[in-house]
Chains A and B, each alone.
Chain A
Amino acid sequence: MPEKTSPRWAWLRAQETGLAIPLVLLIIIIGLVNPLFFDPQNIIDVLRNTSFMFIVAAAMTFVLIAAGLDLSVGSVLAFGGIVGSMVIAAGAPIILGMIVGVLTGAAIGFINGFVVVKFGIPPLIVTLGMMYAGQGAVLVVTRGTPVYPLPAAFNAIGQGNFAGIPYVILIAAVIGIVAHIVLTRTTYGRMVFATGGNAETSRLSGINVNFVNLSVYILTGIASTFVGMLMASRLASAQPGAGAGWELQVIAAVIIGGTSMFGGSGSILGSLLGVLFMNVVSTGMIMMRISAYWQNLVVGVIIVVAVGIDQYRRRKMA
């Protein structure tokens, strides 16, 4: 039996610590090679990029804990950004455009979840289909051209700062805190963990498993389209290619952050570290003047190594 760890050292055994230590080491190494990494502007850039992806990753954490999977987030992000921006570009109030964009995401998430729950089709297939359908819908609507111009007031959301900190980072921080509280403190969060851990036991214990499985896809739908709007605002235009390839990056980040692919365990903090890790690696490689061509190769290795370490730790603790 492992000895009881005193509470002071309990954090050392926490799931997230496994990732935090290499992350800190990585940051130190990059900083030593190129001190410009610690430049405030660079730090803000890294955090801003992290923020966009983290918002989607926070929702994806719910999906994976509930033993689901959502491959459609990238194309839903693009689609939501475009729909919302078109409403705004047509002269409607900004808030209305935001609401339409986000509702689009909720509707797409509902379709994903409904098909998964009602017809029992594996989420991998359903959301893969939605990924293609979303990409198609984007091209049908835009014919491949960006949506712009957008009003300056809208662009200010993605470009503006408060006391030097971009709004985007603040928004992501608030979302992250709310997501953490919902996951760890509410009955909904508890139901997500239970359903992902053992759906049959949960159902027999009176938990509405179908509701849980449906709702998590609505969360990713909303989060993706919301980020789509934020990115449109940041770039002052909604790009048809936004979010391309995000589905796998987000899932990779969440899993690197210690969330189980088999459902039942995971954390928002872990997902934050996972996304941060991915962004530090890609920025760091640029700053260490490593060819961009190497990036995917390195990320690929990291994913496998991170999950391998995590499984090893689990086996040792079990």
Chain B
Amino acid sequence: MRRILETGMVRPVASGEKILVMQNIKKEFFGVPVLKDVTLKLAAGEILGLVGENGAGKSTLMKILSGAYGCDSYEGEIMVNGVAQRFHSKTDSEHAGIEMIYQEISLHLDLTVAENIYLGCLPQKRRGWVDWKRLYAEADRALALVGLNLNSRSRVRSLSTSQQQLLSIAKALVRNPKILVLDEPTSALTESETRTLLGLLRGLRDRGIASIYISHKLDEVFAIVDRMTVMRDGNIVANYEQGKIDPEKVVEDMVGRKIENMYPKGQAQKGAEVLRVRNLTVPHPLAPQKNIVENVGFSLHQGEVLGLAGLVGAGRSELVNAIFGAIPTRGRAEIYVEGKLTKISRPLDAIQAGLGLVTEDRRKSGFVGTLKVDKNISLASLKRLSAHGFVKRRQERADVKKYADKLRIKLRGLEDSVLALSGGNQQKVVLAKWLMRDVKVLFLDEPTRGIDVGAKVEIYSLINDLAQKGVGIVMISSELPELISVCDRFLVLAKGHIQDEFDRGQASQERIMKAATGLAR
């Protein structure tokens, strides 16, 4: 068992020593080049930011580095510490000191925190016998390193998403990597957790560990990296040194065109009240005695975009899911749709009342992976599209096509598999499903999570269009600049209650964070 969490272990690093060189990497899928002669160099003790839209080739490049695409599936060479490497599998790349932390968390939910951290390298007493005492002690230190205050004997299933994300980082760190690859590591983290993580990465850098940091959250990337590389269409299109990074230029490099206005904001006419919620209480999903949302009430008008802010775990998702009838409520909540008291005990009731919900995890609860694009879009409109129990295929196709065109979903055909689409296009499929129903109220839970800049802008303008047509929108987002730019009014949720409420004019990241962290009162 390697003793690896010793803080005193500072290795002198020769500056400029290239710990990783990926030379002239070329890869194709079915004859379509996805990486066209890419060369990437990483110095020891350096944090390299890697940005680009989805489909730019970042993930493919990293999968080559991780061994997920074996060394026979591409052209080019990988050198770690000056030694040419041929990775046949992920194990090979881990042996070379490369650890990956993915956006999708892959932990064993029914094992304990400690077991997850040391899976595959459990400390042993004698051969074959686990040294449990040492395991938990070491695990506790690993948790402290990432700022997680957890019992290392608890089951991973009971952890929140952000705790799981931090746990997978701890898991990578105990393997003593030379090179750490982080793919969207903060998409599930709160601001303060993100700060902890970024601080941690700086600490690792000082100990000579190199990191490749992939993220759509450019402000984070700008804050942490020493150097930055922009990819587009399988090429590296720009490199920046720290201090010479121009955010606007980077965005232009990523999309290959100038984005005039990242957040187009139209003027929508605020109409009549379309939704009013009173006395909504939601039991905590993991601790049924507790309430995650308590006695919350608010109202929403036509054409209004209401921002729901708060930290992860504040109950934002639970609030909208409960209104939608997707999770149980406690006590007597009153929900008025267009002034009419509406009983919503299951999603179907909400849908019939004119509500729609785009959930935060589109793969898990946004689309059906085994259905084609067209059938996903029409999923919530089957009743309207059928006669005597039969689906009216012609009308279905016509309607689906209308919305696919309207949302500019990039497709080869309506019968494409949803799974083959990029994140942005998948999200548009989910949105199209609700637009097809002419919803009066649309709940958007992290609608731009994990999608590229271009698609984000399209989704912002879609939100504007909907507002102008009189749809009331409730949007949840952990990206405060986005939330502040898109919404007309804000509610900040913390400890189960609305802590602060204000209009666009008074909104600032500081005010939101103060309320969300409980500093406002």
Contacts and interface: CB of A to CB of B under 8 A. Distances in A.
Interface of A: 1-2, 4, 185-188, 190-191, 193-194, 196-198, 200-208, 260, 263-265, 318
A143 B324 CA distance: 55
Contacts of A203: 326, 346-347
B359 to A, nearest CB: 7
Nearest to B367: A201
B386 interface: yes
A265 B433 contact: no
Interface residues of B, number: 36
Interface in B311-356: 324, 326, 346-348, 351-352
A265 B370 contact: yes
Interface string B412-442: 1000010110000000000001000000000
B370 A185 contact: no
A187 B389 contact: yes
Interface of B: 29-32, 324, 326, 346-348, 351-352, 357, 359, 364-371, 375, 379-380, 382-383, 386, 389-391, 393, 412, 417, 419-420, 433
B368 A204 contact: no
Contact of A318 (B347, B367, B419): B419
Nearest to A264: B370
A229 to B, nearest CB: 27
What 4 A-B pairs are tightest by C-beta distance, nearest first? Answer: A264-B370, A197-B370, A197-B368, A206-B351
B391 A205 contact: no
A260 B351 contact: no
Given A1-B30, A190-B391, A204 B383 contact: no
Given A186-B390, A197-B371, A198-B367, 5 more contacts: A193-B370, A197-B369, A201-B368, A205-B351, A207-B379
A206 B346 CA distance: 8
Nearest to B32: A1
B391 A187 contact: yes
Residue from B31, B368, B383, B417 having most chain A Cβ neighbours under 10 A: B368
Contacts of B375: 190, 193-194
Given A203-B347, A204-B359, A318-B419, A185 B391 contact: yes
A198 B29 CA distance: 28
A198 B368 contact: yes
Contacts of A198: 364-365, 367-370
Contacts of A260: 370
B390 A202 contact: no
Contacts of B367: 198, 201
A191 B383 CA distance: 11
Contacts of A263: 370
A82 B30 CA distance: 57
A2 B30 contact: yes
Nearest to A198: B368
A199 B370 CA distance: 11
A201 B348 contact: no
A194 B417 CA distance: 14
A3 to B, nearest CB: 8
Contacts of B390: 185-187
A206 B380 contact: yes
17 contacts: A186-B391, A187-B389, A187-B391, A188-B389, A194-B379, A197-B370, A197-B371, A201-B379, A202-B379, A204-B324, A206-B348, A206-B351, A207-B348, A207-B379, A264-B368, A264-B370, A265-B370
B379 to A, nearest CB: 4
Contact of B365 (A187, A188, A200, A265): A200
B370 A196 contact: yes
Contacts of A206: 347-348, 351-352, 380
A186 B388 CA distance: 9
B357 A204 contact: yes
Contacts of A187: 382-383, 386, 389-391
A78 B324 CA distance: 46
A40 to B, nearest CB: 38
Given A187-B391, A194-B379, A206-B351, A201 B370 contact: no
A202 B389 contact: no
Contact of A264 (B31, B359, B369, B412): B369
A173 B370 CA distance: 28
Contacts of A193: 368, 370-371, 375
A204 B349 CA distance: 10
A166 B390 CA distance: 31
Nearest to B348: A206
B504 to A, nearest CB: 30
A10 to B, nearest CB: 11
A222 B346 CA distance: 30
Contact of A201 (B31, B324, B366, B412): B366
A205 B433 contact: yes
Nearest to B433: A205
A133 to B, nearest CB: 31
A8 to B, nearest CB: 17
Residue from A186, A194, A206, A318 having most chain B Cβ neighbours under 10 A: A206
A205 B347 contact: yes
Contacts of B347: 203-206
B378 to A, nearest CB: 8
A205 B379 contact: yes
